Chain A
Amino acid sequence: MWICYFSPTLILPPVITEETMSLDHADVKQIAHLARLDLSGEKMESIAADLTNILDLVAQLSAVDAADVVPMAHPLQMAQRLRSDEVTERDRREAFQSIAPQTENGLYLVPKVIE
């Protein structure tokens, strides 16, 4: 039942259209799914309330007129450094895989994803 692991790709959500800042259980459930977090039913109530409070705090931003401001990408306006395309790291697969939950023949093992 185990096969090798592929990077998970982020699957974009159906657009959440509701414009209100208050989040209901369905919203939280959808966000939790996107974040790959298993939220139990009993936690949902308090998390929805906490998230709504945080979004209320953040809502102060909507009153600010910043339409003409260039978004700040980096404090020092630095450009990304480039390096020559050379091998600089040695293979440390064994060291890195020694801390993995489950490996076989140099591969990470996960539950079967393709029938």
Chain B
Amino acid sequence: MHNKSITALAAGLRAGDYSSVELTQYFLDRIQRLDTGLNSFITVCAEEALAAARAADKKLQAGEAGPLTGIPIAHKDIFCTKGVRTTCGSRMLESFISPYDATVVARLKAAGAVSLGKTNMDEFAMGSSNETSYYGPVRNPWDTGTVPGGSSGGSAACVAARLAPAATGTDTGGSIRQPAALCGITGLKPTYGRVSRYGMIAFASSLDQAGPMTTSAADAAIMLQAMAGFDGRDSTSAEQPVPDYSSGLQDDLTGLKIGLPREYFGEGLDAAVARSIEEAIGEYKKLGAEVVEISLPNTHLAVPTYYVVAPAECSSNLSRFDGVRYGHRCEDPKDLEDLYKRSRAEGFGDEVQRRILIGTYALSAGYYDAYYLKAQQVRQLISDDFKRAFGQVDLIMGPTAPESGFRIGEKADDPVSMYLSDIYTIAVNLAGLPGISIPVAPAAGSPVGLQIIGNYFAEARLLNVAHRLQMATDYHQAAPAGI
């Protein structure tokens, strides 16, 4: 049951093989049995899930069901959920009960999906290993001594362990794609503005984007269909029609032109990961694609640019956590400044504080031009690299992450080495492009992700190209042992 696709689960619901209540209870039981060793959930909502499942069963009986009606899913704990605790992985929001639903949550609810609960994540989505969560690290179900990646590590781990058929994630610098790669699942970061940011707790507003995390591209298409679309409540939401993401999944790849950026295959890339990527590229050649080498010459500047832009926006966004209106407040503040300073120092963990400090510094008087303005100029150069590349090729492919999973604790004391695990994903956010990570041949038993980058609003093409590989190979069907 737990290895079935969303389409197969939906067919079973329609055929009356099981009810949504039974399906939901099945996954709740799996979470109870298996998640103690993984810590992929911060909050499990059994009661709410079963109530939603009962409502879905009524729709199914009335013949009003859509593709997601009655399907259990999980939400990254960055999405506000009305009446359910939303922590964002932080002590700051340990007892925060949102008074409203994020648009992503509302849309999936309206599509009939059943939320099982809220998944663990790096605090305020700042991290690449899920070790910065106040609620403890998530363990990678493939090897519980290694990290699942981050920041959507809980979503990636729970889908990989088949504790939920699908989950939502968010991606500011690789936070959907990198954990998808490390956990052996499919993760799509859509074009900036494709999915509403309303109710998604903001980290870096010009980079943040929500997307689906699933076991296959076909399932990601179903999830994205429900999530995407214009939302007047998000001032940067794209006013673009939403295509049918499932109808073109089987399209032929003959003549597809794939660009391989030489900068993504150089120094720093693990040799075993490189072999897995090359093998997948070979599969695409068999499917009729043409492969050419391209250059994205400013690739090496993506991480430095990101670590100005993202902390700058984070320091501004996180100024709302002041101990006054919601969130953590310190005991017995002696004055207002003490209230702000101690509430924030107690509520935020080390990595969040580091980024707030870097951002504050970069935006402070006398430093703005040298850091923030310069970074936004270099960001344009990085974006121009992609623009030139898409004049030559249809899609860009390369590794999602430079290595397969690393050990818990291995990089925790060295922020800069941790930042470099997003070296291939960050530029995509800076340019606002869509990217997907899909599992390919494992390296020494650990999952490896192939990243496919498309032009603006090319999600349907990315899903098509990912799906064709998943038709030709079965890497995406592999599940961790003991699951």
Contact = CB atoms under 8 A, between A and B. Distances in A.
A53 B415 contact: yes
Contact of A36 (B300, B341, B381): B341
A51 B357 contact: yes
Contacts of A35: 315, 344, 356-357, 360
B203 to A, nearest CB: 16
Contact of B364 (A16, A38, A110): A16
Contact of B206 (A10, A54, A74): A74
Interface band, chain A: 35 or more
B305 A28 contact: no
B335 A113 contact: yes
B361 A76 contact: no
Contacts, number: 180
B431 interface: yes
A58 interface: yes
B472 interface: no
A15 B366 contact: yes
A36 B344 contact: yes
Contacts of B365: 12-13, 15
User: Which secondary structure dominates chain B's binding surface?
Assistant: helix
Contact of B307 (A17, A32, A57): A57
A69 interface: yes
B364 A75 contact: no
Contacts of A99: 96-97, 99, 326
A115 B387 CA distance: 59
Contact of B324 (A54, A81, A108): A108
Interface string A9-51: 0101101110000010000100110111111100000010011
Given A31-B357, A102-B329, A38 B342 contact: yes
B235 A8 contact: no
Nearest to B309: A72
B18 interface: no
A83 B237 CA distance: 14
B219 interface: no
Contact of B193 (A32, A76, A98): A76
B336 A113 contact: yes
Interface in A91-111: 92, 95-96, 98-102, 108, 110-111
B286 interface: no
Nearest to A83: B232
B432 A111 contact: no
Contacts of B374: 61-62, 64, 66
Contacts of A39: 345, 353
B394 to A, nearest CB: 20
13 contacts: A8-B322, A36-B344, A57-B304, A58-B304, A61-B301, A61-B374, A66-B378, A69-B378, A71-B379, A95-B99, A96-B326, A101-B326, A110-B339
Given A34-B360, A57-B303, A62-B370, 9 more contacts: A13-B364, A31-B364, A75-B192, A92-B99, A99-B97, A99-B326, A101-B327, A101-B329, A111-B338
Q: Which 6 residue pairs spanning A and B have beta carbons closest together?
A: A75-B432, A71-B376, A38-B341, A66-B377, A101-B329, A38-B345
Interface of B: 96-97, 99, 191-193, 206, 232, 235-236, 238, 300-301, 303-305, 307-308, 315, 319, 322-327, 329, 333-342, 344-345, 348, 353-354, 356-358, 360-361, 364-367, 370-371, 373-381, 383, 415-416, 419, 430-433, 456
